[in-house]
């Protein structure tokens, strides 16, 4: 009889754990202001923050990365300061193109991107990159001499997650 009660108790515990797990949100969105980024973002998990201070006269300025993984996807916002304003557009293009190369991904259509507080730039664009085992939804944009890359890396495109992440981005105290 004891083994029957143990089996029932174990079965109940397993069902309860499954039900409680089903109620837990996969994405727990929170507002983050990564230090040195001049940005406000909404991440679905607590991001890890990495940064590097400005280099010497010929080195890039400050750089940083905020990233986290949730629901099988990786969300990130990276930023870098370029020394020369004439290098902003080439930096945006290079960020986008190097990611496609790194992922060996087929680039999708380039679309204009609008982020609150950004500096208008024709190279500020977003696209979906489709690789063999993963996809990346990426946007590059700028505010002054800070260039940014927002990215959602996942097994397949996640339109809802990307829209939530991208729409919440704000630069320079924009509302």
The domain locations on the chain are 27-171
pTM reported for the whole predicted model: 0.82
Specify the 3-state DSSP secondary structure of 167. Answer: helix
Can you give the length of the chain in residues? Answer: 175
Q: What CATH homologous superfamily does 27-171 map to?
A: Mog1/PsbP, alpha/beta/alpha sandwich (3.40.1000.10)
The answer, yes or no, to whether residue 103 has pLDDT greater than 60, is yes
Computed over every residue of the chain, the mean pLDDT equals 85
C-alpha closest to that of 45 among 25, 21, 23: 25
pLDDT for 59-92, tens place per residue? 668 899 999 999 999 999 999 999 999 999 999 9
The answer, yes or no, to whether residue 13 has pLDDT greater than 50, is no
Of the two residues 132 and 23, the one the predictor is more confident about is: 132
Record the tokens describing residue 38, joined without a space.
């001049």
Residue tagged 């109620």 (tokens) = 23
C-alpha closest to that of 66 among 101, 100, 95, 31: 31
Residue tagged 């973002």 (tokens) = 41
Compute CA 6 distance to the chain's CA centroid, rounded to the nearest angstrom.
Answer: 46
Strand partners, 73: 70
Q: How far is CA 6 from CA 2, 16, 90, 130, in A?
A: 6, 15, 66, 49
Which residue intervals of 29-115 are DSSP H helices? Answer: 88-103
């Amino acid at each position: 009889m004891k083994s029957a009660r143990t089996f029932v108790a174990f079965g109940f515990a397993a069902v309860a754990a499954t039900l409680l797990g089903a109620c837990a949100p996969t994405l727990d969105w929170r507002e983050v202001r990564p230090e040195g980024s001049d940005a406000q973002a909404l991440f679905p998990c607590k991001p890890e923050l990495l940064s590097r201070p400005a280099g010497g006269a010929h080195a890039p300025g400050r750089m940083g990365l905020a990233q986290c993984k949730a629901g099988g996807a990786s969300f990130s916002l990276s930023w870098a300061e370029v020394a020369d304003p004439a290098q902003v557009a080439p930096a945006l293009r290079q960020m986008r193109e190097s990611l496609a190369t790194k992922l060996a991904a087929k680039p999708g259509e380039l679309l204009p991107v609008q982020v609150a507080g950004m500096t208008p730039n024709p190279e500020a664009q977003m696209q979906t990159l489709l690789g063999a085992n993963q996809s990346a939804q990426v946007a590059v944009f700028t505010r002054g001499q800070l260039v940014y890359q927002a990215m959602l890396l996942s097994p397949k495109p996640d339109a809802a997650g990307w829209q939530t992440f991208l729409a919440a981005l704000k630069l320079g105290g924009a509302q």
